[in-house]
Amino acid sequence: MKLTKLMGLGAALFTLAIPVAVTASEAAGEMAGEVAGEVNVYSYRQPNLVQPLFDGFTAKTGIKVNTVFAKKGMAERLAAEGANSPADVILTVDIGRLMDVTDRGLVQPVASDVLSDAIPANLRDADGQWFGLTTRARVMFVSKDRVADGAITDYEQLADPQWKGRICTRSGAHAYNVALIASLVAHWGEAKTMTWLKAVKENLARKPQGNDRAQVKAVAAGECDIAIGNTYYMGKMINNPDQKAWADAVRVVFPNSDNRGTHVNVSGMAMAKHAPHKDAARALMEYLVSDEAQALYAEQNYEYPVKAGVAWSDLVKSWGTFKGDELSLSKIADYRKKAIVLVHLTGFDN
């Protein structure tokens, strides 16, 4: 089935998990089009978030972008398709997912001065196997009414007994929290991080549950006073009439901004191992770090551009400036397994 025909089946198709049981011939047929004027993207990012970028790329280069949106199962699909995979570029979020496709040998290195010059070294793989596109900070959303300005400024303080019964978070085993905990292991070591994690667990107002927005909702409802979440959810809530009241109930605190820096994660990209259109894939990847694309991508998703000098959106600026942790995401990725072990050893989610 040609991709153009596949896409005509409707957007609902792209929200389905991509099955693992895909034969090589089916995979190749589903995204046919082996010409230099096309590039095939497998994306974890929702179509409405990335389509404006692809439209801009096509307008600039004439290269058509074909997209399959995967809610989950991307790595499994790529592995099943093997050498016959039509995928050229992989778009995903979180260092964990980037390392998943990298560790499975599903990507290939890209040598590009454009990418190296635009993306800070701590936000890309040293061997060119993955690249950050935008960043998001893991922050505290604190109650405007019940937490005084300056009362909490660092991640360390989440373990203070004064916050007992006042903190909400999603599962400690979720990729976003795993990355945060892994960064703390990298800075502090396992023993101190485990002690901290136990203390934070004692301060939880309820069992970890829901997504990041659910934590802010709980603060607005008075169930807790401090929520842990990613910055871009603030933008999503502000622009959702049903959730704006949640956002209005909190202010953003960027932890450790006065010392080592706030933990940041990325949305990122990589070139698929068997990319049939390497030149077009590299051209798309380089376009995504252009000033034009960086500004559009960050504005669309309420995130921060990775490229220095590209202005933040006015909404994102309104949350305040901060210092980001410059620890390499590759190093953070090295400690993800230890972070997961600590979550389970402390019974954090129980």
pLDDT at site 87: 97
Q: Determine the average pLDDT of the residues in 202-212.
A: 98
Is it the case that residue 20 has pLDDT exceeding 60? no
For residues 173 and 162, membership in a common domain is answered with yes
Q: Are strands 64-69 and 107-108 parallel, antiparallel or unpaired?
A: unpaired
pLDDT category at 70 given cuts 50, 70, 90 is confident
Of 281, 277, 339, 266, the C-alpha closest to 120 is: 266
Q: What is the mean pLDDT of the chain?
A: 90
Q: Cα angle vertex 277, ends 273, 281, to 5°?
A: 80
Domain-embedded: residue 54:
yes
Q: Report the CATH number that the domain containing residue 91 is assigned in CATH.
A: 3.40.190.10
Is it the case that residue 19 has pLDDT exceeding 80? no
For residues 15 and 92, membership in a common domain is answered with yes
256-273 pLDDT tens trace:
999 999 999 999 999 999
Is it the case that residue 348 has pLDDT exceeding 90? yes
Is it the case that residue 242 has pLDDT exceeding 70? yes
**Which uninterrupted H or E stretch holds 138?**
strand 131-143
CA distance 323 to 226: 21
Q: Determine the average pLDDT of the residues in 139-144.
A: 98
For residues 226 and 286, membership in a common domain is answered with no
Beta strands in 152-216 (DSSP E): 167-168
Domain-embedded: residue 152:
yes
Q: Are the C-beta atoms of 284 and 251 separated by less than 8 Å?
A: no
In the beta sheet, which residues pair with residue 91? 43, 269
Q: Determine the average pLDDT of the residues in 11-26.
A: 35
Q: Determine the average pLDDT of the residues in 70-76.
A: 86
pTM of the complete model: 0.88
Domain-embedded: residue 350:
no
pLDDT at site 248: 98
For residues 126 and 214, membership in a common domain is answered with no
For residues 195 and 67, membership in a common domain is answered with no
Of 200, 209, 212, the C-alpha closest to 250 is: 212
For residues 231 and 114, membership in a common domain is answered with no
pLDDT at site 36: 54
- Identity at 272, one-letter amino acid code: A
Report the Cα–Cα distance between both ends of the chain, in Å, rounded.
Answer: 46
Q: Which domain holds residue 153?
A: 137-262+321-345
For residues 37 and 109, membership in a common domain is answered with yes
Domain-embedded: residue 107:
yes
DSSP string, 282-336: HHHHHHTTSHHHHHHHHHHHT-EESSTTPPPPHHHHTT---PBP---HHHHHHTH
Torsion of CA 63, 68, 72, 77, to 10 degrees: -90
For residues 61 and 187, membership in a common domain is answered with no
Q: Determine the average pLDDT of the residues in 127-150.
A: 97
- Identity at 323, one-letter amino acid code: K
pLDDT at site 46: 81
pLDDT at site 31: 42
Q: Determine the average pLDDT of the residues in 103-124.
A: 97
For residues 174 and 127, membership in a common domain is answered with no
For residues 153 and 254, membership in a common domain is answered with yes
Of 37, 49, 116, the C-alpha closest to 284 is: 37
pLDDT at site 71: 73
How many residues comprise the chain? 350
CA distance 293 to 285: 10
Gyration radius (Cα) of the chain, Å = 21
Phi, psi of 113 (to 5 degrees): -65, -30
Is it the case that residue 117 has pLDDT exceeding 70? yes
Higher-confidence residue of 262 and 14: namely: 262
pLDDT at site 314: 95
Is it the case that residue 32 has pLDDT exceeding 50? no
Q: Determine the average pLDDT of the residues in 88-92.
A: 96
pLDDT category at 251 given cuts 50, 70, 90 is very high
Domain-embedded: residue 193:
yes
The 10 Å Cβ neighbour count of residue 121 is 11
CA distance 48 to 301: 10
pLDDT at site 122: 97
pLDDT category at 8 given cuts 50, 70, 90 is very low
For residues 53 and 89, membership in a common domain is answered with yes
Two tokens, residue 14: 């792209």
Q: How many domains does the chain have?
A: 2
DSSP string, 242-293: TTHHHHHTEEEE-TTTTTT-B-EEEEEEEEETT-S-HHHHHHHHHHTTSHHH
For residues 31 and 76, membership in a common domain is answered with yes
